[in-house]
Amino acid sequence: MASCYVCGKKKVVGHNVSHANNKTKRYFYPNLQRMKIITESGPKRVSVCTRCLRSGLVKKAL
């Protein structure tokens, strides 16, 4: 699983908890989108989380 190019957000571990309080491992994945963005070294295709996209932290390449 990739992480966000801007903020480094990646999957985190938690538990599924049943009604009987049995705990099993599960993962929480960030909402990553593959985008072509403009970096200082030119256009690049990277994974960016939707929080960074919405906040305007990246500039999309056309």
Output the domain CATH number for residue 39: 2.30.170
- pLDDT for res 62: 81
- Start-to-end C-alpha separation, the chain: 26
Instruction: Give me the count of residues in the chain.
Output: 62
Average pLDDT (38-43) is 93
Per residue in 8-31, pLDDT (tens digit) is: 999 999 999 999 999 999 999 999
- pLDDT for res 1: 63
User: What distance in Å separates the CA atoms of residue 52 and residue 58, rounded to the nearest whole number?
Assistant: 7
Residue 32 lies in a domain: yes
Residue 3 lies in a domain: no
β-strands 12-17, 23-28: how paired? antiparallel
Residue 60 lies in a domain: no
SS3 50: helix
- How many domains are contained in the chain? 1
Q: Above 70 in pLDDT, residue 52?
A: yes
Domain that holds residue 32: 12-55
